[in-house]
Amino acid sequence: MAPQRAQSSPTLTPTGPRAAVVLAAGNDDASRALLSQPLGDATVVETAVDNVRRIVDADRIVVVVAAGDRTVRDLLGDDLTYVEQAEACGTGDAALTARAAVLAALGDDAADASVLVAYADTPLLRSQSLRGLMTRHLLTGADLSLLSAVVDAPRATDGRIVRTDGEISAILEPEDRPDVEVDGPTEINVGAYVAAPGLLFDELDAMVADGENRLTELARRVIAHGRRISSYRIYDTDEVRGVNTDAELAEAADVVLKRLFMPKKNTDTKIVFGTGGWRAVIGEGYTLANVRRLCQAIANQVVRQGIETQGVVIGGDRRFLSRESAEAAAEVFAGNNIPVVLLPDDVPTPLVTFAAPHLGSALGIIITSSHNPPEWNGMKVFRADGSLPLDDETDRYQDEANALAVDDVITLDLALARRTGMVTDKVLTEPYVDAIEKIVDVDSVRGSDLRVIVDPMYGTSQLTLGTILNDMRVRSEFIHAAHNPLFGGIAPAPDLQRLSTLITMIEQGGGRYDLGMATDGDSDRIGIVDETGEYITTNDLLLLLFWYLHEVRGEKGGVVRNLATTHLLDRLAAHFGEESYECKVGFKHVTAGMEKIGAVLGGESSGGLTIRGWILGKDGIFACALVVEMLARTGKRISELREMIYEITGRLYTLEANVDSTPEMRVAVPRRLEAEPLTHVGPYPVVSVSHLDGTKILLENDNWALLRFSGTEPVLRMFVEADSPEKAAELLDWLKGFVTAGV
C-alpha cells in the first residue's frame, strides 16, 4: 500500500528557511574539467550554481569540491561556502560532507528549514524547476521531494519511478530490472532533492554506514521507512541533460542558445531594447513599474552627464496606458530634479523627435509601440538632436534599469511637480507644423486641386497632417481617425494587407481621389496608394522621392537605405553620379549613414524615411506632405512618375515573407549557412555573401536574397529582389525551403 498523503499544517507556506548543497567534486579529473568549460555566457558550474542562487541566499549555499580543487572556487567567488570531499566516494558521501557547513549556515533556523541538493553537472535545470520543487515540498508537507520527468527514451542509467495510486512507491535502478527493457514514455528520477536537514543527513549517515554511497539510494530508503515522497515534474526534457562528456557539452550549448530565443513569459520581464526602442506586451514586460525603472536609469545617465538642467520632453500616443505611462515617466524625471515638458495630448512620434532639438532638451521620450499589435506598448528615446541612441547607449539604459529595484526609483507627485514648475504642460503642434511647412513648399500645392484620402489607422497623425493639408488647400478625407486603443483589432502598420478599406474607397471612387495615404500607429511610417487603388511599396516611393528631390528640387547628394531595401536606389544614384550607402536595419543606422555621406534621402522598405535638413528620425507626416508636393509640382500622378523612373533604372521585383522562428531554427539556420557555404541559390550563382545584418546573398544584376531574424519578434524575415516576378517568387521559395529543411 502506498504511504498516505501527509496533511499540511494550516500555517504551512511555500516559503521558509532554506539552504542548498551543490555537488561539484566530480568523479574524476575529466568530469571536473567539464565543469569549467564555457556554456553560453558562463561556465557549466557557474550556470548550475546561478540557478540555485535564484532561490537560495548565497550565504546558505554549500558547494562540495574535490580535495585541493581551486578551479570551482575561483569561478564561483568567495560569497559561497566550500567543503572538500576527501575521496571520490560517491554522491551520497559528498552530500554528507556538507552537513556541518549547512547546519552552521542555518543556525537556529535548522529545525524548520529545507535543504536542496543539486548537481553542478546539470546546468540545464531551470531555476523555476528548482523553485517548483522547493515549493511543492513545502506545500505538501512531504518528507522528501524530488524532480521527475517523463522521457520518451530513458537512458540505461536512469532510475525509473513507480507509482501506486498516484504516489511514488518505488524507484527502480538499472540493477533492479536487469531483464526488463524500458521502452516508450517513462517517468524518471532527475536527481535533485529537498528534505529537512535532520532527515537528509541522518539518512545519508546511515546509508553511508551501510556501504551505499549513491545519493539516489536516499529516496529508496525513505520509501522503505514508510515516509512520503512528493515530486515536481519537469516537462522540458532538455533540463534532464547532464554534462559528463564533450558531446553532452555540445548538446547543452545548443540548448542554451535555443533558450535565448524562446518567448519570455512571467518568469522574465526584463527591459530589452530592439531596433526601435523598448517594446513589450502590456501586463507582462510592459508595466508601469518597468516604465519607472527605465526612466530612473535614463535619469541617472542624464545626471551623470551633467545635463539635467536641459530637461526632457515626454509624450505618449493613443495606446492603452500611454497617458498614464507618460505621467509616470514625468514623475520620475521630476523626482530626479530634471525639468519636464509634458505634451498634454496624444502626439505623433516625429513630433517628439522634433521637440527635443526644438526645446534644447537633453532627451525626448515617447510612449509608443509604433506599428505593433494593440496588446503592446513601449518607449522610444531620442537624443538632444532628435536621433535615436545607438546600441551601446540603449544597452546601458536597459542593463541599469534591469538592475534597479522598485525602491531605487525616485519620484515626485505629478500635482506637486506641476505646482512647483518641475513639470510644464506644453502643446507643440504648431511649432512642429510650422517647421514642416518651412521645408515643404506649401504654396506650390495651393491651386493644384488635389484630392486625397488619408487613413491614420486610429493613430496620431490626423491633427498635424490634417492641418498641413488644409494649409495646402488640399481637399482631404480622413478615415479611421477616432481614438481607438484597439486599432480596429489589427496592428496599425500601413502595409498592403491592412489598407483594404483605403484601397477599396479609391477603387470605387470613380477617379475621385488623386492619392491615398496612410500612417502607422505613431505616425512615423507611411503607406501610399495611387489613383487607381494600387498599393505603392516604400521601395518605389523612395525611388520617386529620390528622383524628385534631386531633379526637381535640385537637392544634390546620395541616398542611404537599409539592406532590406531596393537596389534600384543604387542604380538611380549611379545615374545621378551620387553615392549609395547600405546599412543595418534600424533607422538610427539610416540617419548615421546619411550624416556619413551627406545623403539627401534615407529610408527603409518598411515605411520609414527622412530627408536632409529635417529631423533625424523617420516621419510619416512629413513624408505625406512631401508626396503631395511632388504630385503638385510635377503635375503627374504616381503611376506616371513610376513608369518614367523605371525608364532610367529598369525594373526589379521585390517579395518578402515572414515565418515564425522556433528556437531550434535560430540555432539550425546559421549553423547550416556556416557549414554549407553557398555557391548557388537554385540555378543562380552567388556573387558574394554579406553578414552585415543577418545573411544577405548577392546574385548577379542586383538580384539578392536576405535572411534576417527579427530583433523584436520571434520571426524570421525573408526578402528577395529579382529581374522578374517569377524569379523573385523562385528565390523566395528557395529561401523558405532552405530555412525549413531539417528544422
Residue 407 burial (CB < 10 Å; 0-12/13-18/19+)? exposed
The region of weakest confidence among 9-18, 697-706, 721-730 is: 9-18
All cell numbers assigned to 47: 550556470
Cα separation, 686 vs 683, in Å, equals 10
**∠ CA(68), CA(71), CA(77), 5° rounding?**
110
Lookup result for grid cell 509616470:
328
CA distances from 218 to 26, 96, 223, 235 (A): 19, 11, 9, 24
> Does the pLDDT value for residue 9 go beyond 50?
no
Cα separation, 517 vs 468, in Å, equals 14
What confidence score (pLDDT) does residue 181 get? 58
- Residue 176: pLDDT band (50, 70, 90) is low
What confidence score (pLDDT) does residue 6 get? 38
Q: What is the pLDDT of residues 429-476, one digit of tens each?
A: 999 999 999 999 999 999 999 999 999 999 999 999 999 999 999 999
Cα separation, 8 vs 138, in Å, equals 9
What confidence score (pLDDT) does residue 11 get? 37
What confidence score (pLDDT) does residue 2 get? 40
CATH superfamily of 433-649: Alpha-D-Glucose-1,6-Bisphosphate, subunit A, domain 3 (3.40.120.10)
Q: What is the pLDDT of residues 185-228, one digit of tens each?
A: 888 888 899 999 999 999 999 988 888 888 888 888 898 888 99
What confidence score (pLDDT) does residue 177 get? 57
Q: What is the pLDDT of residues 590-610, one digit of tens each?
A: 999 999 999 999 999 999 999
> Does the pLDDT value for residue 327 go beyond 70?
yes
Question: In the chain, where does the domain assigned CATH 3.90.550.10 lie?
Answer: 18-246
> Does the pLDDT value for residue 5 go beyond 50?
no
> Does the pLDDT value for residue 3 go beyond 50?
no
What confidence score (pLDDT) does residue 88 get? 82
What confidence score (pLDDT) does residue 266 get? 44
> Is CATH 1.10.275.10 what the domain over 273-427 is classified as, yes or no?
no
Which H helix or E strand runs over 78?
Answer: none
Residue 345 burial (CB < 10 Å; 0-12/13-18/19+)? middle
**Strand spans (E) along 321-375:** 340-346, 363-367
What confidence score (pLDDT) does residue 414 get? 96
Full-model pTM: 0.74
Q: What is the pLDDT of residues 121-163, one digit of tens each?
A: 999 998 889 999 998 899 888 999 999 988 887 777 778 888 8
Is there a contact between 548 and 634 (Cβ–Cβ < 8 Å)?
yes
Mean pLDDT for the stretch of residues 522-550: 97
Cα separation, 297 vs 292, in Å, equals 9
* Closest by CA position to 314, among listed 360, 347, 357: 347
Q: What is the pLDDT of residues 67-103, one digit of tens each?
A: 988 999 999 999 999 999 988 888 899 999 999 999 9
What confidence score (pLDDT) does residue 595 get? 95
Q: Which CATH class is domain 18-246?
A: alpha beta
What confidence score (pLDDT) does residue 590 get? 95
Cα separation, 193 vs 200, in Å, equals 9
What confidence score (pLDDT) does residue 549 get? 98
Residues 6 or more apart whose Cβ sits within 8 Å of residue 268? none
Mean pLDDT for the stretch of residues 408-427: 96
What confidence score (pLDDT) does residue 393 get? 93
> Does the pLDDT value for residue 118 go beyond 60?
yes
Would you give the DSSP letter of residue 112? G
Question: What is the pLDDT of the chain when averaged over all its residues?
Answer: 90
> Does the pLDDT value for residue 8 go beyond 50?
no
- Residue 390: pLDDT band (50, 70, 90) is confident
> Does the pLDDT value for residue 268 go beyond 70?
no
Q: Which CATH number fits domain 653-740: 3.30.450.40, 3.90.940.20, 3.30.310.50, 3.40.50.300?
A: 3.30.310.50
Mean pLDDT for the stretch of residues 57-74: 92
Higher per-residue pLDDT: 157 or 485: 485
- Residue 250: pLDDT band (50, 70, 90) is confident
What confidence score (pLDDT) does residue 391 get? 87
Query: Is beta strand 715-722 parallel, antiparallel or unpaired with respect to 704-709?
Result: antiparallel
Positive or negative, the Cα torsion across 62, 98, 194, 192? positive
Helices (H) and strands (E) in the chain, counts: 25, 33
Question: In the chain, where does the domain assigned CATH 3.30.310.50 lie?
Answer: 653-740
> Does the pLDDT value for residue 179 go beyond 60?
no
Question: In the chain, where does the domain assigned CATH 3.40.120.10 lie?
Answer: 273-427, 433-649
